[in-house]
Amino acid sequence: MIFDVLQILGGLILSLGQIPQMIQIARTKSARDINLNTYLMIFTGSFLMEIYAINLVIHGTGWAYLLTNTLSLLATGITITLIIKYGKKK
């Protein structure tokens, strides 16, 4: 039980920690200094961990991991979208 709580807290911090970057990009409409490759690598790693989390759930465990990893995957995907939209010089 305690490990599920730690997973949820850690996962929420990692996922919600991307919100300030998303807000900054959307507010300034600029992502010129942000490295897209970094976020693509984070997204790829999260996607592979998502497959693992789904496997855990299929075998009866890992719901907290799946929930927080999915949230992180979505946050990274939104950030990538913003970088692509606002990353080029005007």
Digit-coded pLDDT (tens) for 76-86: 999 999 999 99
Per-residue pLDDT at 1: 81
Instruction: Return the exposure string of 65-82: e unless at least 16 CB atoms fall within 10 Å of the residue's CB, then b.
Output: bbbbbbbbbebbebbbeb
Residues of the chain with pLDDT under 70: 89-90
Q: What is the pTM of this model?
A: 0.89
Q: What is the DSSP letter of 87?
A: -
Per-residue pLDDT at 51: 96
Q: Could you write out the DSSP letters of every residue in 27-49?
A: HHT--TTS-HHHHHHHHHHHHHH
